[in-house]
Structure 1
Amino acid sequence: MEGSQSPTADDRLRWSRLTGKQRACLDLVLVHKTSKQIARDLGISKYTVDQRITAARQILGGNDRADTAIRYARLRQICDRIAYDPVQLPDAATLVPSGHTDGGPTNVFDLSETSKSVDRLSGEGVPSGKIWRHDHRLPTRLTIMATLLAAVIIFLLGSLGIAETLTRLISG
Protein backbone atom coordinates (compact mmCIF):
# COMPACT_ATOMS: atom_id res chain seq x y z
CA MET A 1 0.00 0.00 0.00
CA GLU A 2 1.16 3.46 -0.76
CA GLY A 3 1.44 6.16 1.84
CA SER A 4 -0.89 9.04 2.30
CA GLN A 5 -1.79 10.50 -1.07
CA SER A 6 -4.56 12.51 -2.64
CA PRO A 7 -7.35 10.58 -4.32
CA THR A 8 -7.70 10.65 -8.09
CA ALA A 9 -11.00 11.18 -9.86
CA ASP A 10 -11.21 7.43 -10.48
CA ASP A 11 -10.64 6.74 -6.78
CA ARG A 12 -13.37 9.19 -5.78
CA LEU A 13 -15.76 7.67 -8.29
CA ARG A 14 -15.15 4.15 -7.00
CA TRP A 15 -15.46 5.32 -3.38
CA SER A 16 -18.74 7.09 -4.10
CA ARG A 17 -20.17 4.03 -5.86
CA LEU A 18 -19.65 1.85 -2.76
CA THR A 19 -22.74 1.79 -0.56
CA GLY A 20 -22.58 2.08 3.21
CA LYS A 21 -23.67 -1.54 3.53
CA GLN A 22 -20.90 -2.72 1.22
CA ARG A 23 -18.39 -0.66 3.21
CA ALA A 24 -19.65 -2.22 6.44
CA CYS A 25 -19.06 -5.69 5.03
CA LEU A 26 -15.63 -4.75 3.67
CA ASP A 27 -14.62 -3.24 7.01
CA LEU A 28 -15.21 -6.63 8.60
CA VAL A 29 -13.39 -8.40 5.76
CA LEU A 30 -10.37 -6.25 6.63
CA VAL A 31 -10.32 -7.75 10.13
CA HIS A 32 -10.31 -11.24 8.58
CA LYS A 33 -13.89 -12.24 9.37
CA THR A 34 -15.66 -14.88 7.33
CA SER A 35 -18.94 -14.24 5.56
CA LYS A 36 -20.75 -16.20 8.25
CA GLN A 37 -19.19 -14.09 11.02
CA ILE A 38 -19.97 -10.88 9.14
CA ALA A 39 -23.57 -12.02 8.69
CA ARG A 40 -23.89 -12.65 12.44
CA ASP A 41 -22.34 -9.26 13.31
CA LEU A 42 -24.56 -7.31 10.91
CA GLY A 43 -27.71 -9.37 11.46
CA ILE A 44 -28.08 -10.37 7.80
CA SER A 45 -27.77 -13.62 5.86
CA LYS A 46 -24.50 -15.05 4.60
CA TYR A 47 -25.89 -14.87 1.08
CA THR A 48 -26.46 -11.11 1.46
CA VAL A 49 -22.90 -10.63 2.71
CA ASP A 50 -21.55 -12.53 -0.30
CA GLN A 51 -23.72 -10.40 -2.63
CA ARG A 52 -22.42 -7.17 -1.13
CA ILE A 53 -18.80 -8.27 -1.30
CA THR A 54 -19.23 -9.43 -4.91
CA ALA A 55 -20.81 -6.11 -5.87
CA ALA A 56 -17.96 -4.26 -4.14
CA ARG A 57 -15.43 -6.47 -5.95
CA GLN A 58 -16.96 -5.47 -9.28
CA ILE A 59 -16.88 -1.77 -8.34
CA LEU A 60 -13.28 -1.91 -7.11
CA GLY A 61 -12.07 -4.21 -9.89
CA GLY A 62 -10.65 -6.82 -7.53
CA ASN A 63 -9.75 -10.33 -8.65
CA ASP A 64 -10.84 -12.07 -5.46
CA ARG A 65 -11.89 -11.31 -1.89
CA ALA A 66 -8.35 -10.57 -0.66
CA ASP A 67 -7.56 -8.29 -3.59
CA THR A 68 -10.84 -6.46 -3.05
CA ALA A 69 -10.00 -5.98 0.63
CA ILE A 70 -6.56 -4.55 -0.26
CA ARG A 71 -8.07 -2.15 -2.79
CA TYR A 72 -10.75 -1.12 -0.31
CA ALA A 73 -8.18 -0.51 2.43
CA ARG A 74 -6.16 1.75 0.09
CA LEU A 75 -9.29 3.65 -0.94
CA ARG A 76 -10.46 4.01 2.63
CA GLN A 77 -7.08 5.38 3.64
CA ILE A 78 -7.13 8.14 1.03
CA CYS A 79 -10.86 8.85 0.61
CA ASP A 80 -12.36 8.35 4.05
CA ARG A 81 -10.71 11.29 5.76
CA ILE A 82 -12.39 13.76 8.03
CA ALA A 83 -11.75 17.25 6.79
CA TYR A 84 -10.30 19.69 9.28
CA ASP A 85 -13.07 21.64 10.90
CA PRO A 86 -11.96 24.15 13.53
CA VAL A 87 -14.06 24.25 16.64
CA GLN A 88 -16.18 27.36 16.95
CA LEU A 89 -15.66 28.88 20.38
CA PRO A 90 -17.15 32.11 21.67
CA ASP A 91 -14.68 34.98 21.83
CA ALA A 92 -15.03 35.76 25.52
CA ALA A 93 -17.31 35.00 28.41
CA THR A 94 -19.98 37.57 29.12
CA LEU A 95 -21.37 38.42 32.53
CA VAL A 96 -25.11 38.26 33.03
CA PRO A 97 -26.61 40.86 35.38
CA SER A 98 -28.21 39.54 38.54
CA GLY A 99 -31.94 39.90 39.14
CA HIS A 100 -31.35 40.60 42.85
CA THR A 101 -30.98 44.16 44.07
CA ASP A 102 -28.09 43.42 46.41
CA GLY A 103 -26.24 41.20 43.93
CA GLY A 104 -27.36 37.80 45.16
CA PRO A 105 -29.51 35.88 47.62
CA THR A 106 -28.32 35.60 51.19
CA ASN A 107 -29.18 31.91 51.30
CA VAL A 108 -28.61 29.47 48.45
CA PHE A 109 -31.81 27.65 49.38
CA ASP A 110 -33.83 30.80 48.66
CA LEU A 111 -33.16 30.42 44.95
CA SER A 112 -36.25 29.45 42.99
CA GLU A 113 -36.02 27.44 39.81
CA THR A 114 -38.16 28.60 36.91
CA SER A 115 -37.11 25.86 34.53
CA LYS A 116 -39.98 23.80 33.10
CA SER A 117 -37.95 20.60 33.38
CA VAL A 118 -37.51 21.15 37.13
CA ASP A 119 -41.25 21.82 37.44
CA ARG A 120 -42.01 18.58 35.63
CA LEU A 121 -39.67 16.63 37.85
CA SER A 122 -41.06 18.12 41.04
CA GLY A 123 -44.64 17.44 39.99
CA GLU A 124 -45.77 21.05 40.28
CA GLY A 125 -46.80 21.31 36.64
CA VAL A 126 -48.62 17.97 36.58
CA PRO A 127 -52.35 18.14 37.46
CA SER A 128 -52.17 15.02 39.63
CA GLY A 129 -48.96 16.17 41.29
CA LYS A 130 -50.77 17.94 44.12
CA ILE A 131 -53.48 15.32 44.58
CA TRP A 132 -51.46 12.13 44.78
CA ARG A 133 -48.27 12.93 46.62
CA HIS A 134 -45.92 10.54 48.35
CA ASP A 135 -46.23 12.33 51.69
CA HIS A 136 -50.01 11.72 52.13
CA ARG A 137 -50.98 9.49 55.01
CA LEU A 138 -52.98 6.28 54.54
CA PRO A 139 -56.44 7.74 55.42
CA THR A 140 -55.92 10.56 52.93
CA ARG A 141 -54.85 8.11 50.23
CA LEU A 142 -57.88 5.91 50.91
CA THR A 143 -60.17 8.96 50.69
CA ILE A 144 -58.62 9.95 47.35
CA MET A 145 -59.01 6.39 46.00
CA ALA A 146 -62.65 6.22 47.19
CA THR A 147 -63.41 9.56 45.54
CA LEU A 148 -61.83 8.44 42.28
CA LEU A 149 -63.72 5.14 42.42
CA ALA A 150 -67.01 6.99 43.01
CA ALA A 151 -66.27 9.28 40.04
CA VAL A 152 -65.62 6.26 37.80
CA ILE A 153 -68.81 4.54 38.95
CA ILE A 154 -70.87 7.69 38.32
CA PHE A 155 -69.31 8.03 34.89
CA LEU A 156 -70.08 4.38 34.02
CA LEU A 157 -73.67 4.60 35.29
CA GLY A 158 -74.20 7.81 33.34
CA SER A 159 -72.80 6.16 30.22
CA LEU A 160 -75.09 3.16 30.68
CA GLY A 161 -78.10 5.46 31.16
CA ILE A 162 -77.27 7.33 27.96
CA ALA A 163 -76.78 4.05 26.10
CA GLU A 164 -80.14 2.73 27.35
CA THR A 165 -81.93 5.95 26.36
CA LEU A 166 -80.39 5.86 22.88
CA THR A 167 -81.39 2.22 22.50
CA ARG A 168 -85.02 3.05 23.38
CA LEU A 169 -85.07 5.96 20.94
CA ILE A 170 -83.68 3.84 18.11
CA SER A 171 -85.93 0.83 18.74
CA GLY A 172 -89.01 3.01 18.76
Structure 2
Amino acid sequence: MTDSGSQPSDGTARWSRLTDKQRACLDLLLERQTSKQIARRLDISKQAVDLRITTARNILGAANRDEAAIIYARLRQTYDRISCDPIIVSPNPGLVPSRVPDGSLPEAMHESASPTEGPRVSNPPFGDFWRPDHTRIRRVWLMATMLVALALLILTGLAIAQALTRLISG
Protein backbone atom coordinates (compact mmCIF):
# COMPACT_ATOMS: atom_id res chain seq x y z
CA MET A 1 0.00 0.00 0.00
CA THR A 2 1.00 3.60 -0.37
CA ASP A 3 1.28 6.27 2.27
CA SER A 4 -1.89 7.31 4.07
CA GLY A 5 -2.00 10.66 2.26
CA SER A 6 -2.65 9.08 -1.15
CA GLN A 7 -4.80 6.19 0.10
CA PRO A 8 -8.15 8.05 0.18
CA SER A 9 -7.82 9.07 -3.47
CA ASP A 10 -6.82 5.48 -4.30
CA GLY A 11 -9.94 4.25 -2.46
CA THR A 12 -12.10 6.74 -4.32
CA ALA A 13 -10.67 5.56 -7.64
CA ARG A 14 -11.25 1.91 -6.72
CA TRP A 15 -14.79 2.59 -5.57
CA SER A 16 -15.69 4.55 -8.69
CA ARG A 17 -14.31 1.81 -10.99
CA LEU A 18 -16.60 -0.85 -9.50
CA THR A 19 -19.81 -1.35 -11.48
CA ASP A 20 -23.23 -1.76 -9.89
CA LYS A 21 -23.28 -5.41 -10.97
CA GLN A 22 -19.90 -6.05 -9.35
CA ARG A 23 -21.08 -4.32 -6.19
CA ALA A 24 -24.21 -6.50 -6.12
CA CYS A 25 -22.02 -9.61 -6.27
CA LEU A 26 -19.66 -8.24 -3.62
CA ASP A 27 -22.59 -7.37 -1.34
CA LEU A 28 -23.71 -10.99 -1.45
CA LEU A 29 -20.10 -12.11 -1.04
CA LEU A 30 -20.06 -10.14 2.24
CA GLU A 31 -22.99 -12.32 3.34
CA ARG A 32 -20.71 -15.37 2.83
CA GLN A 33 -22.68 -16.59 -0.21
CA THR A 34 -21.09 -18.98 -2.69
CA SER A 35 -20.94 -18.18 -6.41
CA LYS A 36 -23.80 -20.58 -7.03
CA GLN A 37 -25.97 -18.92 -4.35
CA ILE A 38 -25.12 -15.46 -5.70
CA ALA A 39 -26.03 -16.61 -9.21
CA ARG A 40 -29.42 -17.85 -8.00
CA ARG A 41 -30.17 -14.63 -6.12
CA LEU A 42 -29.18 -12.38 -9.02
CA ASP A 43 -30.66 -14.71 -11.65
CA ILE A 44 -27.43 -14.94 -13.64
CA SER A 45 -25.00 -17.76 -14.42
CA LYS A 46 -22.28 -18.92 -12.04
CA GLN A 47 -19.65 -18.03 -14.64
CA ALA A 48 -20.97 -14.44 -14.77
CA VAL A 49 -20.68 -14.21 -10.98
CA ASP A 50 -17.12 -15.56 -11.04
CA LEU A 51 -16.19 -13.12 -13.80
CA ARG A 52 -17.65 -10.15 -11.90
CA ILE A 53 -15.91 -11.12 -8.66
CA THR A 54 -12.58 -11.72 -10.46
CA THR A 55 -12.81 -8.33 -12.17
CA ALA A 56 -13.71 -6.69 -8.84
CA ARG A 57 -10.75 -8.48 -7.19
CA ASN A 58 -8.42 -7.01 -9.82
CA ILE A 59 -9.86 -3.53 -9.33
CA LEU A 60 -9.55 -3.79 -5.54
CA GLY A 61 -6.08 -5.34 -5.74
CA ALA A 62 -7.08 -8.37 -3.67
CA ALA A 63 -5.43 -11.77 -3.80
CA ASN A 64 -8.59 -13.82 -3.14
CA ARG A 65 -12.34 -13.57 -2.55
CA ASP A 66 -12.04 -13.07 1.20
CA GLU A 67 -9.55 -10.23 0.85
CA ALA A 68 -11.77 -8.65 -1.83
CA ALA A 69 -14.73 -8.82 0.56
CA ILE A 70 -12.71 -7.17 3.36
CA ILE A 71 -11.46 -4.37 1.11
CA TYR A 72 -14.93 -3.87 -0.36
CA ALA A 73 -16.50 -3.71 3.12
CA ARG A 74 -14.04 -0.97 4.16
CA LEU A 75 -14.66 1.01 0.97
CA ARG A 76 -18.42 0.62 1.31
CA GLN A 77 -18.33 2.03 4.84
CA THR A 78 -16.55 5.10 3.54
CA TYR A 79 -18.08 5.74 0.11
CA ASP A 80 -21.53 4.15 0.14
CA ARG A 81 -23.22 6.50 2.57
CA ILE A 82 -26.61 7.99 1.88
CA SER A 83 -26.27 11.70 2.44
CA CYS A 84 -29.99 12.34 2.70
CA ASP A 85 -32.75 9.77 2.90
CA PRO A 86 -35.91 11.42 1.51
CA ILE A 87 -38.12 9.27 3.71
CA ILE A 88 -36.60 10.73 6.87
CA VAL A 89 -36.74 14.37 5.74
CA SER A 90 -39.78 15.99 7.25
CA PRO A 91 -42.17 17.93 5.01
CA ASN A 92 -42.50 21.66 5.30
CA PRO A 93 -44.39 22.47 8.47
CA GLY A 94 -47.85 23.88 7.93
CA LEU A 95 -50.46 25.41 10.13
CA VAL A 96 -52.25 22.89 12.31
CA PRO A 97 -55.70 23.71 13.66
CA SER A 98 -55.73 23.86 17.43
CA ARG A 99 -58.39 24.65 19.96
CA VAL A 100 -58.21 27.72 22.13
CA PRO A 101 -59.28 27.45 25.79
CA ASP A 102 -62.96 28.31 25.13
CA GLY A 103 -63.22 25.39 22.66
CA SER A 104 -63.58 27.39 19.47
CA LEU A 105 -61.18 27.60 16.56
CA PRO A 106 -59.04 30.72 16.14
CA GLU A 107 -60.27 33.19 13.49
CA ALA A 108 -57.52 32.20 11.03
CA MET A 109 -58.50 28.53 11.23
CA HIS A 110 -62.13 28.63 10.12
CA GLU A 111 -63.30 26.74 7.03
CA SER A 112 -63.00 29.91 4.95
CA ALA A 113 -59.22 29.78 5.32
CA SER A 114 -57.09 28.82 2.33
CA PRO A 115 -57.09 25.15 1.27
CA THR A 116 -53.29 25.00 1.32
CA GLU A 117 -53.19 24.70 5.10
CA GLY A 118 -53.19 20.90 4.98
CA PRO A 119 -55.71 18.17 5.63
CA ARG A 120 -58.57 18.88 7.98
CA VAL A 121 -58.95 16.72 11.04
CA SER A 122 -62.47 15.34 11.27
CA ASN A 123 -64.36 15.29 14.53
CA PRO A 124 -64.66 11.93 16.26
CA PRO A 125 -68.11 10.24 16.17
CA PHE A 126 -69.02 11.23 19.73
CA GLY A 127 -67.55 14.73 19.64
CA ASP A 128 -65.96 15.66 22.94
CA PHE A 129 -67.20 12.54 24.73
CA TRP A 130 -63.79 10.79 24.71
CA ARG A 131 -61.63 13.82 25.48
CA PRO A 132 -58.67 12.97 27.72
CA ASP A 133 -58.93 16.18 29.74
CA HIS A 134 -62.19 15.36 31.57
CA THR A 135 -62.20 15.86 35.32
CA ARG A 136 -62.21 12.87 37.65
CA ILE A 137 -65.89 13.33 38.60
CA ARG A 138 -66.93 13.51 34.94
CA ARG A 139 -64.97 10.33 34.21
CA VAL A 140 -66.74 8.54 37.07
CA TRP A 141 -70.13 9.65 35.73
CA LEU A 142 -69.23 8.53 32.22
CA MET A 143 -68.12 5.12 33.46
CA ALA A 144 -71.24 4.73 35.62
CA THR A 145 -73.46 5.65 32.66
CA MET A 146 -71.69 3.10 30.46
CA LEU A 147 -72.07 0.39 33.13
CA VAL A 148 -75.82 1.11 33.50
CA ALA A 149 -76.25 0.98 29.71
CA LEU A 150 -74.37 -2.32 29.58
CA ALA A 151 -76.49 -3.79 32.38
CA LEU A 152 -79.70 -2.73 30.61
CA LEU A 153 -78.45 -4.28 27.39
CA ILE A 154 -77.69 -7.59 29.14
CA LEU A 155 -81.07 -7.62 30.94
CA THR A 156 -82.88 -6.90 27.67
CA GLY A 157 -81.05 -9.76 26.01
CA LEU A 158 -81.97 -12.13 28.85
CA ALA A 159 -85.63 -11.06 28.70
CA ILE A 160 -85.73 -11.69 24.95
CA ALA A 161 -84.08 -15.09 25.44
CA GLN A 162 -86.60 -16.05 28.13
CA ALA A 163 -89.55 -14.96 25.96
CA LEU A 164 -88.22 -16.98 23.02
CA THR A 165 -87.71 -20.03 25.25
CA ARG A 166 -91.34 -19.81 26.48
CA LEU A 167 -92.58 -19.37 22.91
CA ILE A 168 -90.67 -22.39 21.63
CA SER A 169 -91.50 -24.70 24.57
CA GLY A 170 -95.17 -24.03 24.11
TM-score (norm: length of structure 1): 0.49
Larger relative contact order, structure 1 or 2 (CA cutoff 8 Å, min sep 6): 1
TM superposition score normalised by structure 2: 0.49
